[in-house]
Amino acid sequence: MTNHPDPESDRRRLDKLDAELKAVRATVDKQRPGDGKSATSSGMSHRQTGVAYRVLVDMIAGLLVGGFLGYWLDRWLGWTPYGLVMGLLLGFVAGANNAWRAIRDYSRDAATGNGGDRDRRLP
C-alpha cells in the first residue's frame, strides 16, 4: 500500500489559503487610514503613548535633578532649606518646559499629518 501524494489537492489548498490571506490583508489595509480602528485597545496610538511616557519622564527627571542639585547646594553653601526648594522649583519648571515642547511637537505633527503611526505599514 503506497500512499501517492495528490499535487492537485495540495495546489487547491494552497490557493484557498492564499485567497484567505489576501482577504485578511485587505481588511487590515482598509482599517488603517485614520478611522481609529488601527489604534491600540485603549484608543491611543503608539506615538501618543510614547509622548505620554516622555512627558512623565521629563517631569520626574526635572524634579530629581533639581532636587539633587538643590540638596548639593544646601550641603555645600549651607543654605539649608532654600537650595532644595529652589532646586525643586527650577526642576519642575525645566521638566514642564520639556514636556510642553514634546506635546507641542506632537500636536504640530498630528495637525500636519506627519504622525508616526499612519506612515508605518505591517510587514
Over residues 15-70, the pLDDT tens digits come to 999 999 898 888 876 665 555 544 445 567 888 899 999 999 999 999 999 999 99
Looking at residue 55, its pLDDT comes to 95
Concatenating the DSSP letter of every residue in the chain gives ------HHHHHHHHHHHHHHHHHHHHHHHHHTTTSSTTS-TTS--HHHHHHHHHHHHHHHHHHHHHHHHHHHHHHHH--HHHHHHHHHHHHHHHHHHHHHHHHHHHHHHHHHT--HHHH----
Share of the chain above pLDDT 70, in %: 77
Looking at residue 64, its pLDDT comes to 97
